Structure 1
């Protein structure tokens, strides 16, 4: 009975999404956020990391020998099978490096798509947040996983790493970035700067994948490349190689983040009129996503 009612509710939402523009007010995040399980389809990442969905996702178990999923109430421990395998592999590497394993944050919703809160990306099952907090135990209760917080590895002024940063963090990021499945990893600018200061020429191939981005001081965000089975997946542009001009990305990091982002030059010209904000992920309707996403939603 409950399943029948759920199908009727979804049908109503989809009908609203397909209605004429004046009536199509149902947002895509509401449709995808209502899904509790993956579609029974062949695995596929569809669209772009910030505008898409995913079929046939796999759920990372809430706990494993070398990992625990945090914030279970969000139901965001889903992803393409490649992502699930990667996280398990990285958690085993973390154990080998001296941690108990990994605390895993947000991956994707059961069928991907725009999220009900938080990220603009994480939509096609190829993104995962890994906490900077080294696990001391992997038997946390569900309640504890809702309240425990990660740690920041940078100073408040964003310029330097703090005492929470360890050589194991560096080794773990190196292991993740060295994996051929990984496209790029987002970290706090201070982390990239610290890694650049000890870099060698031989590190360029993996270090260029470490990209500075605000909001990543308590976790690092791994983004995988489009899988071979996902012809509708769109690789992020520009590529990491294009961004770093074939190097390790350190010159641009030290120059731009320190001189422009963290200490912007004073402006003498009159400020420009604020541009109209671009639509965000929570503004998308189904018409904004790849057309295949409607089939993902309606699949059993």
Structure 2
């Protein structure tokens, strides 16, 4: 109980902690602020996903989307700042810290702030590389997340906890909106509820003010690019330029797949031609021998 109270009330940061938080803010500002990412994963388990043929994967329709918006107000939780200790609007607090107008007595931090600062540089990479997602198993005190997103590694890495937004209640769309609420230095699978872990298939990114996604920042190597084109719910969320890039990639891949086949056919014809040239003198020689034999 005492530990829980301490976490909620927080402690006054040291100068070193404040400096580390400012470094984290710079990373957040450059890599995440005002960005919206869309994480795609299949409804089925990884085991069942592996059983699907390539053709079935190309037209897989049961895809779920997790949409996460990174705003100024979200930085406090990720950096380990106790939100209740901030006496001014969160956006103003963020701007003041960026302008070096926040001092040690202006806020409090949790006992995990130092750990969060060390792991913070890994967070942007976690959201742009191979990973996994699943339901949070509530194994940590005072963390109210719904989903956990992180690396597939068996070692500690940056793990993001997100909470579903209320506006999703009336939405039946395949994707749901989430807010980033916590950053952890953990093994991802240790925080995921049993049987809910899912492989991340693709990650898209856009500016928070844009209507359509402008970049495909990650795609699992086993997930065919054709599925993005064939799944109209996903495809219509992309800009025209990104749609064109995907079509071009599909076209290039088809050409590469056809080329080895064409080369093989050409090689077969060439070999047959060579064989034919070699066989011709032999046939003529056999023919002369037969003629002489008949004459005798």
TM-score scaled by length of structure 2: 0.26
Structure with greater proportional strand content: 2
TM-score scaled by length of structure 1: 0.26
Larger radius of gyration: 2
Structure with greater proportional helix content: 2
Which protein, 1 or 2, shows the higher relative CO under an 8 Å CA cutoff with sep ≥ 6?
A: 1
